[in-house]
Amino acid sequence: MSPKKFETSAVRTQVERSQHDEHSVPLFLTSSFVFEDAEEMRASFAEEKKRNVYSRFTNPNTNEFVEKICQMEGAEEGCAFATGMAAVFGTFAALLNSGDHILSARAVFGSTHGLFTKFLPKWNIQTTYFDVADLDRFEELVTPNTKVIYAESPTNPGLQVLDLERLGVLAKKHNLILIIDNCFATPYLQQPMDFGADLVIHSATKLIDGQGRVLGGITVGRADLMEEITAFARNTGPAMSPFNAWTLSKSLETLALRVDRHCDNAEKVADFLLQHKAVEEVRFPFHKAHPQYAIAKKQMKRGGNIVAFQVKNGIEGGKQFMDNVAMCSRSSNLGDSRTIVTQPSISTHSKLSVEDRLAVGITDGLIRISVGLEHIDDIIGDIKQALDKLV
Ligand SMILES: *Cc1c(COP(=O)(O)O)cnc(C)c1O
């Protein structure tokens, strides 16, 4: 049989079941597993026999989650983590040595920026930022110690799109490990390994859960690299809980369906914002006016669920919009079934210096909307009444 389509493997991936032959996969809440006899125990610990031993290492629910994401991303191996940040940290900690150098896209998730600037330098691991829109100058930044290229695409919250294929070629040329945080796109919209990524990281907390319930993270990719990362995770203990893995595996069954509707709604919100008088600029990867529209079309199936726009009157205009929304949630999360509005300049990115903030396109009046699954008329209705009060 030919490989299954995305939606089918999301639903039908073969997983472990109990002796009851249940149809829906049960929750395996057990910290450890028992052995038939001493020989089975010996063989399991010697890793001659592949089986579950202890839930810090593997568990049927986590195995299911990892297997599904590997299939979706076209990856050989994977390792699940308690959160997206545990996956980011575990990946760097496992692969890098003191003295190594990271080249990262400038616009990265806030806690990832914190890891690069506050903690990795303690172990003599330095990071240099490159500009997503200026890959022509990328090679000037490569040093003999550079080991990893790290990036998100689309970026948060500026929605810049990185040319993954071009970055893949640069990584090969300089023998660097290319790691992509694919959280905004999800494996449904973009598979970075097709463009040369060696590893892909997800915060499963966002669209993969999609209902704002649980935290989770995962790294998948090349088997040789995953071996190091998995060994690190097993010894240091940032394991995903079986309950979260069970929840997230169920969520994956509806990922394609949900993300398609998220994208339908986001396209309509982006189109609506374009013609509103209180709006100065709209950023959406699948809008023709987006500076990297052609690249977005090449590497993404659809434009995603995040729309960013700038309201008139900077910080104050943004705060008024935030105060005016009646239905949408004022929150910093994203990828939820509920539409969420955020003003990054006064919240998620307020700790950045003004120069650093503007360098990644986070202007004072920038609003990020994570478009949800409510009826589109209600989403646009709420945004419209909030904006109408500003003109
Ligand atoms: C949320 C997020 C993370 C961190 O994930 P957590 O599950 O919150 O630890 C990492 N990268 C991106 C792009 C994110 O949006």
Element at 323 (helix H, strand E): helix 314-324
- Could you tell which of 205, 248, 368 is best to mutate to test the pocket of ligand 1, judged by most ligand atoms within 8 Å of the CB? 205
The 8-class DSSP code of residue 131 comes to -
Asked if 312 and 289 sit in the same domain, the reply is yes
Any atom of ligand 1 within 6 Å of the Cβ of 217: yes
CA distance 389 to 391: 6
pLDDT, tens digit, for every residue of 278-319?
A: 999 999 999 999 999 999 999 999 999 999 999 999 999 999
- Length of the chain equals 391
pLDDT of 384 strictly over 70: yes
Q: List beta partners, residue 301.
A: none
Residue 350's pLDDT is 87
CA distance 161 to 133: 8
Any atom of ligand 1 within 6 Å of the Cβ of 266: no
Query: Which of 252, 274, 307 is the C-terminal boundary of a domain?
Result: 252
Residue 92, in any domain of the structure? yes
Instruction: Give the ligand 1 atom nearest the CA of 88.
Output: 10
Q: pLDDT-derived band of residue 1, with 50, 70 and 90 as boundaries?
A: low
Asked if 263 and 139 sit in the same domain, the reply is no
Any atom of ligand 1 within 6 Å of the Cβ of 201: no
By mean pLDDT, which of 36-40, 49-53, 181-185, 359-363 is the weakest?
359-363
Q: List beta partners, residue 58.
A: none
Any atom of ligand 1 within 6 Å of the Cβ of 365: no
What's the half-sphere exposure (Cβ side, CA atoms, 13 Å) at 253? 12
Distance 180 CA to ligand 1 centre (A): 12
pLDDT of 339 strictly over 70: yes
Asked if 168 and 75 sit in the same domain, the reply is yes
| Cα-Cα-Cα-Cα dihedral sign, residues 36, 55, 80, 171 | negative
The average pLDDT across 324-330 equals 98
The average pLDDT across 21-39 equals 94
Residue 359's pLDDT is 84
Beta strands 146-152; 101-105: pairing state:
parallel
Percent share of the chain, pLDDT over 90: 89
Instruction: Give the ligand 1 atom nearest the CA of 87.
Output: 9
Asked if 221 and 317 sit in the same domain, the reply is no
CATH number of the domain that residue 267 is part of? 3.90.1150.10
Extract the tokens encoding 357.
């903030």
Residue 382 structural domain? 255-388
Residue 348's pLDDT is 87
Any atom of ligand 1 within 6 Å of the Cβ of 368: no
pLDDT of 274 strictly over 90: yes
Asked if 21 and 149 sit in the same domain, the reply is yes
Asked if 248 and 259 sit in the same domain, the reply is no
The 8-class DSSP code of residue 201 comes to E
pLDDT of 94 strictly over 80: yes
Distance 184 CA to ligand 1 centre (A): 9
Asked if 262 and 235 sit in the same domain, the reply is no
CA distance 248 to 330: 24
Extract the tokens encoding 52.
């579950």
Any atom of ligand 1 within 6 Å of the Cβ of 203: yes
Residue 98's pLDDT is 98
Any atom of ligand 1 within 6 Å of the Cβ of 10: no
| Cα-Cα-Cα-Cα dihedral sign, residues 344, 303, 381, 209 | negative
Instruction: Give the ligand 1 atom nearest the CA of 216.
Output: 7
Residue 67's pLDDT is 96
pLDDT, tens digit, for every residue of 212-234?
A: 999 999 999 999 999 999 999 99
Beta strands 199-203; 177-181: pairing state:
parallel
What's the half-sphere exposure (Cβ side, CA atoms, 13 Å) at 29? 3
Instruction: Give the ligand 1 atom nearest the CA of 204.
Output: 7
Residue nearest to ligand 1 atom 4, measured at CA: 84
Any atom of ligand 1 within 6 Å of the Cβ of 206: yes
Element at 236 (helix H, strand E): helix 223-236
Percent share of the chain, pLDDT over 70: 99
pLDDT of 188 strictly over 90: yes
Q: Do the Cβ atoms of 318 and 364 come closer than 8 Å?
A: yes
Residue 2's pLDDT is 62
Instruction: Give the ligand 1 atom nearest the CA of 156.
Output: 13
The 8-class DSSP code of residue 81 comes to E
Q: pLDDT-derived band of residue 102, with 50, 70 and 90 as boundaries?
A: very high
Asked if 11 and 111 sit in the same domain, the reply is yes
Query: Which of 232, 252, 272 is the C-terminal boundary of a domain?
Result: 252
| Report for 48-52, 108-112, 198-202: range of highest mean pLDDT | 198-202
Instruction: Give the ligand 1 atom nearest the CA of 152.
Output: 13
Helix axes 376-388, 255-274, angle to 10 degrees: 30
Asked if 354 and 292 sit in the same domain, the reply is yes
What mean pLDDT, rounded, does the chain reach?
95
The average pLDDT across 182-200 equals 98
Asked if 312 and 341 sit in the same domain, the reply is yes
Extract the tokens encoding 24.
């829906």
- Could you tell which of 109, 182, 340, 360 is best to mutate to test the pocket of ligand 1, judged by most ligand atoms within 8 Å of the CB? 109
pLDDT, tens digit, for every residue of 243-265?
A: 999 999 999 999 999 999 999 99
CATH number of the domain that residue 14 is part of? 3.40.640.10
Residue 1, in any domain of the structure? no
The average pLDDT across 330-354 equals 93
Asked if 140 and 282 sit in the same domain, the reply is no
pLDDT, tens digit, for every residue of 49-58?
A: 889 999 999 9
Query: Which of 220, 252, 284 is the C-terminal boundary of a domain?
Result: 252
CA 178: distance to chain centroid? 15
pLDDT of 3 strictly over 80: no
How many domains does the structure of the chain reveal? 2
Q: pLDDT-derived band of residue 47, with 50, 70 and 90 as boundaries?
A: confident
pLDDT, tens digit, for every residue of 117-157?
A: 999 999 999 999 999 888 999 999 999 999 999 999 999 88
The alpha carbon torsion through 295, 300, 303, 309 (nearest 10 deg) reads -40
